[in-house]
């Protein structure tokens, strides 16, 4: 529990939220500024700032819950696709520093259909080889 964390306050009931699922480890709530109809967030009940801090067992459980929620929400919302998004660090777009996974239903006829498109970069063969050397 982090006294200054908005998601901790939601988890402890100090701030209201629209809860759609709860178990002993997680809360799933609707995002207050949804990118699509049904946009929700998986929040671990324990405070971890980001993926780097999240213990492995909770990371694994998060993905299992994401699959379960995606299947459930797709059925209930009749959405046409689904994004899982997870931001770490300000530069990556993180604004709430309590680990969370975005569950974003996608719809064929949505007005904001370019929601998650990004400009691409080009790298030479040598640069890619150097990248592989660095990362393997």
* Interface with ligand AMP, residue 6, by CB under 6 A: yes
* Interface with ligand AMP, residue 110, by CB under 6 A: no
* Interface with ligand AMP, residue 53, by CB under 6 A: no
* Interface with ligand AMP, residue 62, by CB under 6 A: no
Both tokens of residue 88? Answer: 């770490």
Both tokens of residue 108? Answer: 């064929």
Stretch that binds Zn ion, among 45-53, 62-70, 88-96, 120-128 (CB under 5 A): 45-53
Q: Would you call 100 a catalytic residue per the annotation?
A: yes
Stretch that binds ligand AMP, among 76-84, 91-99, 106-114, 117-125 (CB under 6 A): 91-99
Both tokens of residue 107? Answer: 């719809």
84 vs 67: CA distance, rounded Å = 10
CB atoms near residue 29 (< 10 Å):
20
Q: Please list every residue from 10 through 29 that binds ligand AMP, using CB under 6 A.
A: 15, 17, 29
Is 16 exposed, middle or buried, given 0-12, 13-18 or 19+ CB atoms closer than 10 A?
A: exposed
80: left (phi over 0), alpha (psi -120 to 50) or beta: alpha
Q: Give catalytic residue positions.
A: 100
The footprint of ligand AMP (CB under 6 A) covers: 6, 15, 17, 29, 31-33, 87, 93-96
The footprint of Zn ion (CB under 5 A) covers: 2, 5, 7-8, 47, 98
């Amino acid at each position: 529990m982090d006294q200054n964390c908005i998601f901790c306050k939601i988890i402890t009931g100090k701030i209201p939220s629209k809860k759609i699922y709860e178990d002993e480890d997680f809360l799933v709530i609707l995002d207050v500024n949804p990118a699509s109809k049904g946009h929700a967030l998986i929040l671990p009940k324990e405070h971890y700032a980001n993926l780097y801090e999240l213990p492995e067992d909770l990371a694994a459980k998060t993905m299992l819950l994401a699959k379960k929620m995606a299947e459930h929400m797709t059925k209930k919302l009749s959405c046409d696709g689904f994004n899982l998004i997870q931001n770490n660090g300000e530069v990556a777009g993180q604004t709430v520093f309590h680990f969370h996974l975005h569950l974003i239903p996608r719809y064929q006829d949505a007005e904001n259909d370019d929601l998650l498109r990004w400009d691409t970069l080009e790298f030479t063969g040598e640069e890619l080889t150097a990248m592989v050397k660095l990362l393997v």
